[in-house]
Amino acid sequence: MPSMTRTPKRQVQPQDAPRIPQRGGGKLGYWLYFIPGAILVGVVIFYPIIRNLRLSFFHWRGGRAEEQFAGFENWTALFQDSEYLQSFMNIALVIVAMVIVPTLLGLVVAAALFDVVGRRFGGKLSSFLRATYYLPQILPIAVAGVMFSWILKPNSDGVLNQFLSFLTGDDVAVNWLGGQYSTAIISTMVLMIWIQIGYPVVIFMAALQRVEPELYEASELDGANWFQRFRAITLPMIRPEVFVVGLTTTIAALKVFAPVFILTRGGPSKSTYVPSFYAYQEFISGTDKGYAAAIASSITIVVFIVSVIFIKAQTRAERKDA
């Protein structure tokens, strides 16, 4: 936010001048255009945020029950709640599945599609493949979840189990989603990777279009191999996009809900809980909505802090480049 820094008094700040010449009303008139947006964002976003923050300091059974002031009780309880702590530990795995693996895979796939497939086999083929990788991104997540829960059905009638039985000759009946924590969380992670992979591929490929083809040709003539070109040209060129992908997917990972809801409902025995799902469960069937509000508020705070850190890091990196 460089424009926020105080500048010595100037008569007209060209940066701040409205882009339409003024005739009366001045800049004040522009605030009129905010009225619908301000009302809606106030009611739909800020009212719930404030209400939940407040509620997190109360015990409340919901409905007509009375709210009882609780101070920090709900907040301190969070740190002794093993389900809550486990749900945040699971977020680390969700970040692996939604941020780290897709970004790394996405880098490789985008570079390969752009650099090799696009240049040697034609742009049509590479955009067709790009579209294929992107397809899961636009599927309703509920549909993807139901699809995977069908494939991962326990007993021998599950698609994956049948397939494994066919390969090994034995009767395989793994309860992928409900059996034990390790297979349940890994299955959920695979679904997340499958959903996410197309997003970095598309963004990185678009970023690569900024690279002058001559740059690659020159380095090729100099005898650089593919990996050297990838490191020296591709990676530095698309660093801003890596930032954007990192930020947006990390936030999505912190808020993740639907894959867990559809695949495992948090099971087996609450072990695949994520904070979002935990908050939802507590709001729906918990006995203390104040506690649910504390969980939801804690996620909001974490998301906010992560966003600020990322944006600061990005501005710093950009300033260094400039």
Using CB under 8 A as the binding rule, whether residue 250 contacts another protein is answered as: no
For residue 15, which of 33, 28, 1, 32 has the smallest C-alpha distance?
1
145 burial type by CB count under 10 A (0-12 exposed, 13-18 middle, 19+ buried): buried
Using CB under 8 A as the binding rule, whether residue 309 contacts another protein is answered as: no
For residue 120, which of 112, 109, 132, 128 has the smallest C-alpha distance?
112
Using CB under 8 A as the binding rule, whether residue 184 contacts another protein is answered as: no
Using CB under 8 A as the binding rule, whether residue 7 contacts another protein is answered as: no
Using CB under 8 A as the binding rule, whether residue 221 contacts another protein is answered as: no
Q: Which of 6, 10, 64, 120 is the binder for another protein (CB under 8 A)?
A: 120
Residues within window 253-282 making contact with another protein, judged by CB under 8 A = 254-255, 257-258, 261-262, 276, 279-280
303 burial type by CB count under 10 A (0-12 exposed, 13-18 middle, 19+ buried): middle
Using CB under 8 A as the binding rule, whether residue 44 contacts another protein is answered as: yes
Cβ atoms of 185 and 95 within 8 Å: the answer is no
Task: Pick the closer one to another protein by CB: 148 or 185.
Answer: 148
Using CB under 8 A as the binding rule, whether residue 227 contacts another protein is answered as: no
Residues within window 49-78 making contact with another protein, judged by CB under 8 A = 49, 51-52
Least distance CB 190 / another protein (angstroms): 11
What SS3 string covers 295-310? Answer: HHHHHHHHHHHHHHHH
Using CB under 8 A as the binding rule, whether residue 299 contacts another protein is answered as: yes
Task: Pick the closer one to another protein by CB: 184 or 296.
Answer: 296
Distance CA 116, CA 92 (A): 34
Strands (E), 95-147: none
Using CB under 8 A as the binding rule, whether residue 122 contacts another protein is answered as: yes
Least distance CB 31 / another protein (angstroms): 6
Q: Which of 10, 11, 166, 221 is the binder for another protein (CB under 8 A)?
A: 166
Residue the block writes with tokens 């005739």: 23
Residues within window 129-148 making contact with another protein, judged by CB under 8 A = 129-136, 138-143, 145-148
Using CB under 8 A as the binding rule, whether residue 176 contacts another protein is answered as: no
Least distance CB 225 / another protein (angstroms): 10
Using CB under 8 A as the binding rule, whether residue 94 contacts another protein is answered as: no
Q: Which of 7, 76, 104, 150 is the binder for another protein (CB under 8 A)?
A: 150
Least distance CB 269 / another protein (angstroms): 19
Main-chain dihedrals φ then ψ at residue 59, nearest 5 degrees: -95, 135
Distance CA 132, CA 180 (A): 33
Least distance CB 271 / another protein (angstroms): 20
Using CB under 8 A as the binding rule, whether residue 236 contacts another protein is answered as: no
Output 117-125 pairs: Cβ under 8 A, ≥24 positions apart: 119/213, 119/216
Buried b / exposed e over 263-301, threshold 16 CB at 10 Å, is bbebbbebbbbbbbbbbbbbbeebebbbbbbbbbbbbbe
Residue the block writes with tokens 């395989």: 172
Distance CA 288, CA 77 (A): 12
Q: Which of 65, 89, 171, 210 is the binder for another protein (CB under 8 A)?
A: 210
Q: What would the DSSP string read from start to end of 214-252?
A: HHHHHHHHTT--HHHHIIIIIHHHTHHHHHHHHHHHHHH
Using CB under 8 A as the binding rule, whether residue 159 contacts another protein is answered as: yes
Contact segment (CB under 8 A) with another protein among 75-83, 90-98, 175-183, 190-198 equals: 190-198
